[in-house]
Amino acid sequence: MNEQVNASEKKTPPEEAEAAAVDQKAQSRRRLLKQGTRVAPVLLTLASRPVLAWHCKSPSAWGSEQLNPATSLATNQGHASYADETWTISNWRTNTGRAGLGRPWQRLGFGNNWTQVKLQKLEEKKGLAIPAGVDKNMTVVSFLTAGTGFQQTVVVAQLNGMLLSSLGNCITLSEIKQMARGTFSPPNVSVVWGPSEIVDYLRNNWIAVP
């Protein structure tokens, strides 16, 4: 008798089985909706920002590639279309826009008097790291004509980093500021870059190009 009762207790009536199935489907829908609310803003962000994120490499990845090119991925050289994902040094010198990016000085908040903005003002207002040996009283426009290739590259890389959040997927603004000192050690790579290696990285990864 007890065995019959236990067996009957183990059986689920059709109504309860149907209710359980409906509840399970409802829980699945709720999980999908929750996932959707988390994913949707990310998708919107990806759709609305420049696509540099998957066209550049982190300093550590790039450094590893240079140490062991036989087992690394192909470099980004030769892909001219990538340049449209960030402002060039020339764009900042002349305040001309790139496809979908607009004019850089307007985006930075100096649209009306961009030709008069000095490096020192960007240092004070935006935290720009100015390379050694550069006169802070120079206007940025003059500097982007008279500065060395290294100096221009690390300054424009910082300016791009201030406006393009997508750069954070491969390099941080803090790392670019460290590069402005003239030497940089990529994380997890036992090398020290000098100015030429820094320029090579920033230009070949479309973070700052002429």
Would the pTM of this model clear 0.85, i.e. be above it? no
> How confident is the model over 169-186, as a mean pLDDT?
94
pLDDT digits (tens, 9 = 90+) for 35-54: 444 443 333 333 334 444 44
Residue ranges per domain, the chain? 2-47, 50-204
DSSP string, the chain: -HHHHHHHHHSPPHHHHHHHHHHHHHHHHHHHHHHHHHHHHHHHHHHHS-SGGGT---HHHHHHHHH-GGGSPP-STT-GGGGGGS--HHHHHHT--BTTTB-HHHHHT-SSSGGG-BHHHHHHHH---PPTT--TTSBHHHHHHHS-HHHHHHHHHHHHHHH-GGGGGT--HHHHHHHTTT-B--TT----B-HHHHHHHHHHTTSS--
pLDDT digits (tens, 9 = 90+) for 47-90: 334 444 446 888 888 877 776 656 545 444 444 445 567 899 99
